Amino acid sequence: MYKQMIIIRRMEMAADALYKAKKIRGFCHLSVGQEAIAVGIENAISKEDDVITSYRCHGFTYMRGSSVKEVLGELMGRRIGVSNGKGGSMHMYADGFYGGNGIVGAQVPLGAGLAFAHQYRGKKNCTFTLYGDGAANQGQVFEAFNMAKLWNLPCVFACENNKYGMGTSASRSSAMTEYYKRGQYFPGLKVNGMDILAVYQASKFAKDWAISGNGPLLLEYETYRYGGHSMSDPGTTYRTREEVQNMRSRNDPIAGLKGHLLDFEIATEEEIKSFDKAARKYVDEQVKLAEAAPEPEKKMDILFEDVYVPGSEIPILRGRIRDDSWDFAKKGFAYR
């Protein structure tokens, strides 16, 4: 788990640098400081369980099986990216990982639907449906809660409370900030999201709870992001530098696990250094590979690909001008 966390940390830091170098465009929401959640959950569940989250999804994409190259490739809009360069930062998918969702809160009913599918098929699997403190007030979240409890769905609703919804602190957005209690009629647990062992244990407990027919559970992972909401937010206009520094120096999940590893003599200082070195080397390599990879070809058939499932396309999709319309049967321009 230590190795996984440091890879995610390095990957996100690489993304930060690439964004500043203008190699990544648009939105980029980093999870530096929140690594324990993606890593802890993945270690507690199986490949047959699902995870769905919002746009702060890079760590989860990696943990669910994509390589760092594929994640960074997607961020840079390259063809080798997770979504072939078509999605970007917020729209990454993997086996058992349903994104990567850009609309705040929309992923929560989707997650209930994924859990519904497990139940429908009679599978003993669960779905971790993550959302933030900002999304926790969305009406559709409560609609999902209601159906999950009504139908006893194996859905773990997990609020990653990093205390700020963009620039708005939880206390300025929420009449009640005890998010683990928001599932009024089903139980909730508050978890220290900066302590990976707590995250791991809580996630295991939640999975067991959900697959044993107890219906939904609400986990509130209390966590913190060192960076801003996204790359266009310095993250210092609505909170003090002291607060950020304090969290970094006293509550960092990686440093915390490192401390345990040393205290319990599971690893030596040298071994940990070698893990760090290996992670840096791996991420650096992957960055290079991703940077060298080409963008999708500037061709109309690539542009129009995957609007519909191949073989079931509508006959013609229109370009910016009628002449640029694409005919799928012809595999060429429709009107030229």
Q: Is 222 left (phi over 0), alpha (psi -120 to 50) or beta?
A: beta
> In angstroms, what is the minimal distance from the CB of 256 to other proteins?
34
Residues that bind other proteins (CB under 8 A): 50, 52, 81-87, 91, 93, 98-99, 101-103, 106, 108-118, 120-121, 139-140, 142-144, 146-147, 150, 305-310, 312, 314-317, 322
> In angstroms, what is the minimal distance from the CB of 207 to other proteins?
17
Nearer to other proteins, 124 or 163 (CB): 124
Half-sphere exposure at residue 235, Cβ-oriented, CA atoms within 13 angstroms: 21
Nearer to other proteins, 103 or 292 (CB): 103
Nearer to other proteins, 159 or 198 (CB): 159
> In angstroms, what is the minimal distance from the CB of 255 to other proteins?
35
Nearer to other proteins, 76 or 112 (CB): 112
Strand, helix or coil for residue 336: coil
Q: What are phi and psi of 212, to 5 degrees?
A: -90, 15
> In angstroms, what is the minimal distance from the CB of 305 to other proteins?
7
Rounded CA gap, 184 and 171, in Å? 19
What's the 3-state SS for 120-184? HCCCCCCEEEEEECCHHHCHHHHHHHHHHHHCCCCEEEEEEECCEECCEEHHHHCCCCCHHHCCC
Nearer to other proteins, 16 or 313 (CB): 313
> In angstroms, what is the minimal distance from the CB of 217 to other proteins?
18
Nearer to other proteins, 276 or 295 (CB): 295
Tokens of 324: 């640029």
> In angstroms, what is the minimal distance from the CB of 32 to other proteins?
25
Distances (CA, A) of 51 to 10, 171, 218, 244, 324: 22, 28, 14, 28, 39
Non-local CB neighbours of 142 within 8 Å, separated by 6+ positions = 182
